Structure 1
Amino acid sequence: MWKSHPKALPYLFLSEMWERFGYYLMIGIFTLYLKDVEAGYAMTEKEASDLYGTFIALVFLTPFIGGLIADRYFGYKKSIIIGGIMMGAGYMMMGIHDIRMLYVAMTLVIIGNGFFKPNISTLLGNFYNDEQYKDKKDEGYNIFYMGINVGAFICNFFGAAFKILFGWKYAFMAAGVGMFIGVVVFLLGTKHYGDKTEKKGVQPGDMPFYKIVLFILLPSVVFGIIGWLLKGVQSDANPDCAIFGSDSTDAFIFACLPVIFFYGSLYFKAKTEDKRPIGALLAIFGVVILFWAVFKLNGSALNNWGDKYTDRELTGTAQQIGSKLILVDTLTYKKDSVALYDEAFRIQKEDGKVVKTVDYPLYFRNVHQEKLPEEGSKVFTWSANLSQSINPGWVIILTPLVVAFFTYLRSRRKEPSTPTKIAFGLLISALSVLVMVAAVHIGNNGSEKVSVWWLVANYGVITIGELFLSPMGLSVVSKLSPKNITSLMMGGWFLSTSIGNKMSGVLASLWDTYDNKANFFWVNFVLLMFATLLMFALLKQLNKVMKEKGIN
């Protein structure tokens, strides 16, 4: 597999694998930790989803500035190392149970990812710009993408084991150690990078950095503050008067406006030969926002589905294996209604007054009556965060098949263009949502638990869509971007991911407002079908631009 690719690929593959090990370990336990009434922060589903959405949105917003700094000043190697160290420190600090420390840790991860994520993807693309590797670029990004998902698959087993054995703190520390291993692996590959990690410097016509600070970053901060302070119309559904559902969402959306304006200005100020490629990329960025809005529900709504609505009970051999691997939670069934109510709705009091009611249903609340255990008996369940390994597991299985499929089509000169792959990726992703609609009906709208195979099937279908879209997105940015702003345009791809991530948090925070949970998934289906139709409408023009550039 490696022989026909650049020698740097294995090091970038392993470095990204360990970086994603840390990130997805943290993401897999993040909302579960926030909602834990014993050792976490006892947040409601809405509170946890809102914070999760804001966090992952900002994680993918900072690559905009991180890519720009790498392009002009730091170069890719220094940026990747700085970012990795910051993220590793942030993961470790998350386990310190203090809300202020949690926000500091999140800030380190947000800034660190800005330096790491766009630049390692851009560095990979630099090797495939050489003539001997040019026709292998899509395949190279697919292999790289598999590395991401190897890390994402194995991390949740470590997260479950460390959480069960030692508690949340040590699970977060394991994420930090994974990140630091990724930095070390990256450094070991230095001799294979050559001049590919060098900065491109400020090019003629580039906006000076002080102008970016004055006209983009500073306005983003100001707009974010305005968004936080602005209030909409108060109602029962919107008691806080937030315009878009919460103050953090308002602040994020307003803060994005100057950045979106900046990317629009790149098109209008571009050289004639660069105008159409930049326009094509901006169109793709806009469409894939809706894909990320639905896909990133894996860490919120679908994580919640795996926790509360999926039958996780283990018996016999499965329970013995799970116990030996330290992946099993032990629950004791209490039939007493008072105990159930106390655990389900933990009430926090100050001076005898109720200040917060936390909706935290027990595992047994939607177990069918016939399947309830005897009073006081123990039930063994696999750890809820393990459902986060289903998607990357599918990626590992399906990536070789997808690569082989497109290699076969290429050999027969029938390989679709990169934009066409993205369009079909959106369509397949939309179909995956129908699996969850069926799961809701099988579970009588959440009143009974359903088999984990529904999650497996949902992730299986959306993973095919993901493999058609996500690595292809990285590839098309590398193909179409003007050379002097490649990392900046990679930051634009992650900006679209960021906006989609925030939309995902908003969608997940609405979960409890849907009496019929199937309607929640129908909304997701409509969003993805809209994106699919839009992409197919743009396809003719996008393919024309690709042909003009002499690429597929």
Structure 2
Amino acid sequence: RYLGYRKSIVLGGLMMGAGYFMMGIHSLTMLYVAMTLVIVGNGFFKPNISTLLGNFYSTDEYKDKKDEGYNIFYMGINVGAFICNFFGAALQILLGWQYAFMAAGIGMFIGVVVFLLGTKHYTGFDQKKGTQEGDMPFYKIVLFILVPSIVFGIIGWFLKGVQSEMNPDSAIFGSDSTDAFIFACIPVIYFYASLYFKAKPDEKRPIGALLSIFAVVILFWAVFKLNGSALTTWADRYTDRQVTGTTEKVFSTLVQSKEITYAKAETELYDEQFRLQKENGVVKKVVDYPVYFRNVAPEKLPEEGTKISVWATNLSQSINPGWVIILTPLIVAFFTFLRSRKKEPSTPTKIAFGLLIS
């Protein structure tokens, strides 16, 4: 509304780049600042760049190529998502996590430069629309959605449930941060529900359909975004990552694996569910074998003092984009075949099939 697509995208990219750089600073305060920059920057960046692409394909000349345009766009994202983990693994093994985050920041800044260099290709499609008739003013969005969400989030953070051995912090939904998030969602859900119930009879059906898609998409992304946490944790602690022979030589040469020694030494303390144990914010230490060996079958444990090579955990993040890269050309070819026979489904139908499969 106010900055236009191009300025919003550039601002978002710069904020995310700065956030990635700041994640390399070993400080809890800086971590929260960095995460805030990444979150807000992503809000500026992601929806605007997708809409800008849609605007480009809204003309009669390119309207029939919109699906192909988004396929190329999505393919490009996943090619980057597939490759970056190999660089991240090498940088983490050679130099440390801070350099891997810094590399992400550099990549983001390069992306902003490339975007600016291509300005001539989307001139005229990046104009700001301003407030349209019927749009909710910004101050109402803040007062009716943002402020109530913050208030409810704070309530959720401080509200306590039943304390137990499994729940020492008395969290209602597992952790204070989860409580805060769920409570913060209440005003947002109320707002969208009120849109439906206050709508005119002839508007309820399309609004209901849109809200149903919202609900399904929210559930999909909630599960999908576990990639960065649950999938990585599973790869780290529940997956046999040992590499031997030729595979070990290849991974070692490419700096995609690291060595672990089967010997007792000071290490972080994890409980039976592999949750890191802290006391007053400080990680507890214990003399034990590396946590990787906890799930290794007794008969497969190496000899005392032996070193083994395991592939880097963050390589698991390349599994999903790898499948996208493999399957996208096949899906595009399938719909191209249907189009040649004049049987290609509409874009909403394609989305419906995607939601159904998900």
Partner in structure 1 of residue 269 of structure 2 = 345
Partner in structure 2 of residue 191 of structure 1 = 120
Q: Secondary structure at the match of 2:342?
A: coil
Partner in structure 1 of residue 90 of structure 2 = 161
Measured in 1, the distance between the counterparts of 2:246 and 2:46 equals 41
Code of the residue aligned with 2:269 in structure 1: it is F
Partner in structure 2 of residue 86 of structure 1 = 15
- How far apart are residue 420 of structure 1 and its match? 4.1
Q: Is the aligned partner of 1:328 residue 2:257? A: yes
Partner in structure 2 of residue 457 of structure 1 = none
Partner in structure 1 of residue 328 of structure 2 = 399
Higher helix share: 1
Deviations along 1:20-76, whole A, 9 cap, x unmatched? xxxxxxxxxxxxxxxxxxxxxxxxxxxxxxxxxxxxxxxxxxxxxxxxxxxx11100
Specify which of 285, 310, 321 is matched with residue 381 of structure 1. Answer: 310
Q: Is the aligned partner of 1:279 residue 2:203? A: no
Higher RCO structure (Cα 8 Å, ≥6 apart): 1
Q: Is the aligned partner of 1:260 residue 2:189? A: yes
The 1:234–1:188 alpha-carbon spacing in structure 2 relative to 1, beyond 3 Å, is same
- How far apart are residue 214 of structure 1 and its match? 1.8
Counterparts in 2 of 1:187-266, with a 5 A limit?
187-266=116-195
The 1:236–1:319 alpha-carbon spacing in structure 2 relative to 1, beyond 3 Å, is closer
2:268 touches 2:284 (CA, 8 Å); kept in 1?
A: no
- How far apart are residue 378 of structure 1 and its match? 1.9
Deviations along 1:343-373, whole A, 9 cap, x unmatched? 36378789xxx98478996222222334332
- How far apart are residue 326 of structure 1 and its match? 1.4
Measured in 2, the distance between the counterparts of 1:127 and 1:280 equals 26
Specify which of 289, 299, 302 is matched with residue 218 of structure 2. Answer: 289
Counterparts in 2 of 1:513-552, with a 5 A limit?
none
Instruction: Using structure 2 for the length normalisation, give the TM-score.
Output: 0.88
Code of the residue aligned with 1:101 in structure 2: it is M
Deviations along 1:517-536, whole A, 9 cap, x unmatched? xxxxxxxxxxxxxxxxxxxx
Measured in 1, the distance between the counterparts of 2:183 and 2:50 equals 28
Q: Secondary structure at the match of 1:343?
A: strand
Partner in structure 1 of residue 105 of structure 2 = 176
The 1:420–1:401 alpha-carbon spacing in structure 2 relative to 1, beyond 3 Å, is same
The 1:360–1:176 alpha-carbon spacing in structure 2 relative to 1, beyond 3 Å, is farther
Deviations along 1:208-258, whole A, 9 cap, x unmatched? 222222222211211211222222334444433323222212211222222
Partner in structure 1 of residue 51 of structure 2 = 122
Code of the residue aligned with 1:92 in structure 2: it is F
Instruction: Using structure 1 for the length normalisation, give the TM-score.
Output: 0.59
Identity rate, percent: 76
For structure 2, which runs of at least 5 residues remain unmatched after alignment? 271-276
Partner in structure 2 of residue 76 of structure 1 = 5
Partner in structure 2 of residue 313 of structure 1 = 242
Specify which of 139, 147, 153 is matched with residue 68 of structure 2. Answer: 139
Measured in 1, the distance between the counterparts of 2:328 and 2:304 equals 47
Matched pairs, number: 350
Code of the residue aligned with 2:267 in structure 1: it is E
The 1:344–1:77 alpha-carbon spacing in structure 2 relative to 1, beyond 3 Å, is closer
Measured in 2, the distance between the counterparts of 1:187 and 1:417 equals 33
The 1:119–1:355 alpha-carbon spacing in structure 2 relative to 1, beyond 3 Å, is closer
The 1:367–1:297 alpha-carbon spacing in structure 2 relative to 1, beyond 3 Å, is same
Measured in 1, the distance between the counterparts of 2:152 and 2:68 equals 41
1:344 touches 1:360 (CA, 8 Å); kept in 2?
A: no
Measured in 2, the distance between the counterparts of 1:78 and 1:155 equals 26
Q: Secondary structure at the match of 1:223?
A: helix
Code of the residue aligned with 1:330 in structure 2: it is E
Deviations along 1:171-197, whole A, 9 cap, x unmatched? 110010010011001101101112211
Deviations along 1:261-308, whole A, 9 cap, x unmatched? 333455567788866444322210112222223222222222112112
